Amino acid sequence: MKGYHIWLGKLREGILVIDFGGQYAHLIARRIRELRTFSLLVSADDGINAINRLKENINIRGIILSGGPGSVWEVSHDEIAKWVLHQGVPVLGICYGHQLLAKVLGGKVSRAPKGEFGPTMVEVIDEDIILRGHGKRFKAWMSHNDAVLEEPPSSRVLAKSSGSPVAAFKYGDKIFGVQWHPEVHHTEHGMKLFENWLELTGIKGQWHPSNLIDEIVNNIKNVVGSSKAVAAVSGGVDSTVAAVLAKKALGSNLIPVFIDHGLHPEGEVKRAVVLLEKCGVKPIIIDASERFLSALRGVKDPEEKRKVIGKVYGKVLEEEALRLGAEFLVQGTIYPDVIESGARPGADVIKTHHNVGGLPKDLKLKVVEPLRWFYKDEVREIAKALGLPKELWKLKQPVPGPGLAVRIEGEVTKEKLEILRKADKIVREEIESAGLHDKLWQYFAILTASRATGVKGDRRAYGHVIVIRIVESKDAMTANVAKIPWEILERIVTRITGELDSVTRVLYDITPKPPATIEWE
């Protein structure tokens, strides 16, 4: 693979987020964007010189230091913290960033009196500007073993919790640290904290993703030039928007390709192609289902399944591109794909997405990812601004690139696919007939590797176990379980166990993200 070409943006005022490898680092930048303020993220592992070079892309009006998996005593980022403090702009440290600021400013950071993970009550001591509107106590999302035990000299303690004696502090007029994660939806008043802090930067908040359409199109033109490119499309919002943007840039030199890998939910191929054509993207359809199933034979590990699918997917695309004389591959990778695949330095691999870590390293195509730094809801805003159908940006639920392969535990077979397609169709039909589809992020069925004893027709039955997963989300980085009315769940269970002889039990997954992911595998 010859490298990524990604949009960075022209010089504009905004916020720099320094990423120390935290799972929510880019979510911080995303929250700042929600407040209509441009933000740009850079990895701390890139070093001070790389961070300095970003001044060519952004007039830095404030800096946020993210959380991270390390300890300030195990991983040294003191130089970066000192550089930040010398920029003369407002600074906000979050979790690891909070501890790092406290350390370099002379505070005491050590093992916390007790680790705090998940919802934690925080007591406000001094609201100052950043805790304005938080009340005396509020619930915040914590995830730490270390803590600031003593505030830096000449600073003020703003908040505390049972495991964090200095849960928030202020140093001087512009430097703040908070132990909790205001960027996740689980934290009360999280957006209010960012809004309060942004006041210190003086930014007016007029940035919007849809305003970047012309810039993204021009970027694609500059990268691809007069060459041909194939666009991998699935009918989902990400790949469709990427293809539409590329079509605006390249015209007839953009060739959309839809690969039928045989792992789609029932009716998904037809739905996807019809929707793509409504968006002005008419794809070449390649039936490679037997090729994918053959490659997956005997593969049980979920990470291996994703990598196998990514490898075959890349090879099929490469073959088609070479046949068409194309040099570039346009795909709809968005940031949740990148962050969960561990594609950032210091980040952990949650699961390999077929279009990120799953692509073969020797892919001969140059990859163009115009949406790589955007979240799903931002892509939906771009789709809406492009005038694409509401069916795409409002009603279309995400379907994972590997399809049902990551919703089947263990080896993928034609028999298992048939069972899951029928169960999944029932879930879709009941949710949509109840009018809930436009209120939910995803709703689908999973086929587990478990078997359970049941009774059918007064006889003992021993069959498959199906899990139903229905979640609400805004950006795919976090998700809450949907509280579906009991009578709807009863109808789903009755239909699945009644219409599928091989299924004896149906479960409802009530685990949010985190600690779970949205998909099963």
pLDDT in tens, 261-305: 999 999 999 999 999 999 999 999 999 999 999 999 999 999 999
CATH code: domain of residue 275: 3.40.50.620
Same domain, 384 and 468: no
Supply the pLDDT for residue 54.
77
Q: How confident is the model at residue 347 (pLDDT cuts 50, 70, 90)?
A: very low
Is residue 167 situated within a structural domain? yes
Looking at residue 73, its pLDDT comes to: 85
343: pLDDT strictly greater than 70: no
Give residue 338's pLDDT. 67
* Pair (388, 503) in one structural domain: no
**Token pair for residue 329?**
């591959």
Q: What is the largest CA-CA distance in the chain?
A: 77
Q: How many CA atoms lie within 13 A of 495 on its CB side?
A: 18
Same domain for 454 and 370, yes or no, is: no
Higher pLDDT, 75 or 29: 29
pLDDT at 287: 96
Residue (of 66, 12, 23, 61) closest to 44 by Cα position: 66
Task: Name the residue among 157, 168, 198 with its Cα closest to residue 95.
Answer: 168
* C-alpha distances out from residue 10 to 5, 7, 203, 216, Å: 15, 9, 17, 11
Structure-token pair, residue 340: 């969960």
Is residue 408 domain-resident?
no
Which tens digit of pLDDT belongs to each residue from 404-444?
999 999 999 999 999 999 999 999 999 999 999 889 999 99
**435 and 299 co-located in one domain:** no
Cα 123 to Cα 93, 108, 136, 183, 247: the distances in Å are 18, 20, 6, 19, 53
Residue 354: pLDDT band (50, 70, 90) is very low
244-248, 288-292, 378-382, 465-469: which has the minimum mean pLDDT? Answer: 378-382
What is the reported pTM? 0.74
For the cut 90, the answer to whether the pLDDT of residue 201 exceeds it is: yes
Question: How high is the mean pLDDT of the chain?
Answer: 89
In total, the chain counts a number of residues equal to: 521
pLDDT beyond 50 at 332: yes
| CB 392 within 8 Å of CB 275 | yes
> Going edge to edge, which strands form the sheet with 12-19?
39-43, 12-19, 58-65, 91-94, 175-178, 164-171, 155-161, 108-124, 137-150
SS3 string, 217-285, reads HHHHHHHHCCCCEEEECCCCHHHHHHHHHHHHHHHHHEEEEEEECCCCCCCHHHHHHHHHHHCCCCCEE
| 247 and 159 fall within a common domain | no
pLDDT class for 245, splitting at 50, 70, 90? Answer: very high
Domain assignment of residue 204, yes or no: no
Q: Binning pLDDT at 50, 70 and 90, where does residue 56 land?
A: confident
Q: Which domain holds residue 463?
A: 413-508
Segment 51-74 shows an average pLDDT of 87
- 191 shares a domain with 131: yes
* Token couple for 430: 């009941």
Same domain, 377 and 504: no
Q: Is pLDDT at 120 greater than 80 in this prediction?
A: yes
Does 407 fall in a domain? no
Average pLDDT of span 151-156: 95
Residues 230 and 353 in one domain: yes
State how many domains the chain has: 3
CATH assignment at residue 109: 3.40.50.880
In this model, does residue 344 exceed pLDDT 70? Answer: no
278 & 383 share domain: yes
Q: Which helix (H) or strand (E) holds 15?
A: strand 12-19
pLDDT of residue 353: 45
Catalytic residues: 95, 181, 183
Residue 312 within a domain: yes
Same-domain status, 168 and 219: no
Helix (H, G, I), strand (E, B) or coil at 141: strand
Question: Do 424 and 385 fall into the same domain?
Answer: no
Q: Quick one: pLDDT at residue 10?
A: 58
| Residue 141 pLDDT greater than 70, yes or no | yes
User: For 148-162, what is the mean pLDDT?
Assistant: 95
The letter for the amino acid at 246 is A
Residue 487 pLDDT greater than 80, yes or no:
yes
Given 142, 165, 199, the domain boundary residue is 199
Closest CA to 367 of 411, 402, 324, 326: 326
Residue range 441-450: mean pLDDT, rounded: 96
Does residue 401 register a pLDDT over 90? no
Whether pLDDT at 64 is above 70: yes
pLDDT digits (tens, 9 = 90+) for 355-379: 444 566 777 888 899 998 788 888 9
Across residues 309-327, what is the average pLDDT? 92
What are the angstrom distances between the C-alpha of 457 and each of 492, 498, 505? 19, 11, 15
For the chain, the C-alpha Rg in angstroms (whole number) is 24
Higher per-residue pLDDT: 342 or 217 = 217
Q: What does the block give as tokens for 268?
A: 């998904």
Q: How far is CA 336 from CA 26, 36, 99, 479, 518, in A?
A: 9, 20, 26, 13, 11
The answer to the question of residue 405 being in a domain is no
pLDDT for 49: 85
Report CA dihedral (268, 274, 280, 281) to the nearest 10 degrees: 40
Task: Assess if residue 5 is contained within a domain.
Answer: no
In terms of domains, do 187 and 303 share one?
no
| Residue 482 belongs to some domain of the structure | yes
Residue 205 has pLDDT above 90, yes or no: no
* pLDDT at res. 345: 42
Residue 23 forms beta bridges with which residues?
Answer: none
427 Cβ neighbours under 8 A, 6+ residues apart: 443, 444, 445, 468, 470, 492
Instruction: Choose one of 395, 426, 457: the last residue of a domain.
Output: 395
Question: End-to-end alpha-carbon separation of the chain, Å?
Answer: 26
Amino acid (one-letter) located at 201: T
